[in-house]
Amino acid sequence: MKKLLITKIQLQHPAVCETGWYQICALYEDGRVTDVSLYPEDAKSILNNIYIAKVKNVVPSLNAAFVEIARGTLCYLPLEHLRHPVFTKKDSKKTIAAGDELAVQVVKDAVKTKDAVASANLSFSGEYLVLTSDNPRAGISSKVSMLQRRRLQDLLQTLCEKEPELGKSFGVILRTNAAQATDDMIFAEFDELKAAYASLRERAATRTLYSCLYRERPFYLKMLMDTDKTGLEEVVTDDPAIFAQISQSAPASYSVRLYEDRLLPLAGLYHLTGQVEAALKPRVWLKSGANIVIQQTEALTVIDVNSGKNTAKKDKKRYHHAINLEAAREIAFQLRLRNLSGIIIVDFIDLYDDALETELLSELRALLKKDPVAAAVVDITKLGLVEITRKKQRKPLSEQLAAKQS
């Protein structure tokens, strides 16, 4: 049974002695939470918003510029995506220069001493496709099966024939959810996103500096849109306003239910607080008595596999291999639950048998292939450390807990 739960929980940040209320959107499958998004009640994020920004200075050595999206708020703007920028003020003949004004989208929040990152590649996301202003490619998500890919390739061809500018002045990526949608549903969303892009360009020409041209939808709507709908039975919330908002556009493939039991809160029914708190701790115990320890740093995430309380002595190679396989399954689960991304290094127990090592890596690759977010085993180092990469889509769970931006 697959459900999407939207409610509120109270959490204490492990690094500070502060307790606060968070809105939570959690995907619940097979008796536990598999994916979660937190949003502090008093937070104001600028992620994915589109602003008219002013170029403060260009740094050729970085192939980047610094732009101001509000007075005193700087963003780092890489210049590799600058094929079709939406300028609202352009005095220089250079590709981009100080004083220019253009539409930019915030693609990464500010972190500690680092400025937020912006892009001139404006992206408009729907449930079935993403329209991009600076990448003219027309493509399909790598997660779509070969059987469905053939149908979607034909659909893309039809879109390109209907819309001459597709593949030239803007691009489209069909998302995983497109595999479950009809052609008419995809065509309708394409027209909607194309109209939104055209409207933004038109409004940008008459708006003043620092204007917000587009504000990201609420986090729970974004997670609902990003969730693979295969097997989704219902969306459950105890917030009447959220229930009304989602019900307006919910398809027939799943139901939307308002939870109204005041004696047992929705978060308590599904043990959400306990599962989130456990996902914020570094150590995860396995059923065998072994454990994994997950440590996040700014550069990468390190995962150590330990035999722990399990001290069996017979056939140590096979015994350690069994623990490694159990750990691999839990690691794949924890990467998704904690939303870990970037470089991930795993130190399994004694990878000295080639046949067992091959079996372990094969199992880990198969597990990561099921992840809705692109993840892959890269290699194994001479020291026996397994390298994994996972695409970043949202902040890690630990950073979501601390996210209180103004």
Per-residue pLDDT of the chain (406 residues; tens, 9 = 90+): 899 999 999 987 655 567 889 999 999 999 999 999 998 877 778 989 999 999 999 999 999 999 999 999 999 999 987 888 999 999 888 999 999 999 999 998 887 678 899 999 999 999 999 999 988 888 998 888 888 899 999 999 999 888 888 878 899 999 988 988 899 999 999 999 999 999 999 999 999 999 999 999 888 998 898 888 888 999 999 999 999 999 987 777 789 999 999 999 999 999 999 999 999 999 999 999 999 999 999 899 999 999 876 555 567 888 899 999 999 999 999 999 999 999 999 999 987 788 999 999 999 999 999 998 999 999 999 888 999 999 987 889 988 887 644 3
**CATH (one of 1.10.287, 2.40.160, 3.30.420, 2.60.40) for 2-43+217-274:** 3.30.420
What is the pLDDT, as a whole number, of residue 311?
Answer: 59
**8 Å CB contact between 348 and 358:** no
What is the pLDDT, as a whole number, of residue 15?
Answer: 55
Spatial neighbors of 74 by CB under 8 A, at least 6 apart, are 56, 66, 67, 68, 115, 116
281-397 carries CATH number 3.40.630: yes
The residue to which tokens 């929980």 are assigned = 9
What is the pLDDT, as a whole number, of residue 14?
Answer: 59
* 135-139 long-range Cβ contacts below 8 angstroms, 24+ apart: 135/81, 135/171, 136/83, 136/166, 136/167, 136/168, 136/169, 136/170, 136/171, 137/167, 137/171, 137/173, 138/166, 138/167, 138/171, 138/172, 138/173, 139/171, 139/172, 139/173, 139/174
Domain with CATH 3.30.420 in the chain: 2-43+217-274
Domain with CATH 2.40.50.140 in the chain: 46-215
What is the pLDDT, as a whole number, of residue 13?
Answer: 64
Domain with CATH 3.40.630 in the chain: 281-397
Tell me the chain's radius of gyration from C-alpha atoms.
23
pTM recorded for the entire structure: 0.82
Which CATH number does 46-215 carry? 2.40.50.140
What is the pLDDT, as a whole number, of residue 111?
Answer: 72
What is the pLDDT, as a whole number, of residue 401?
Answer: 82
What is the pLDDT, as a whole number, of residue 199?
Answer: 95
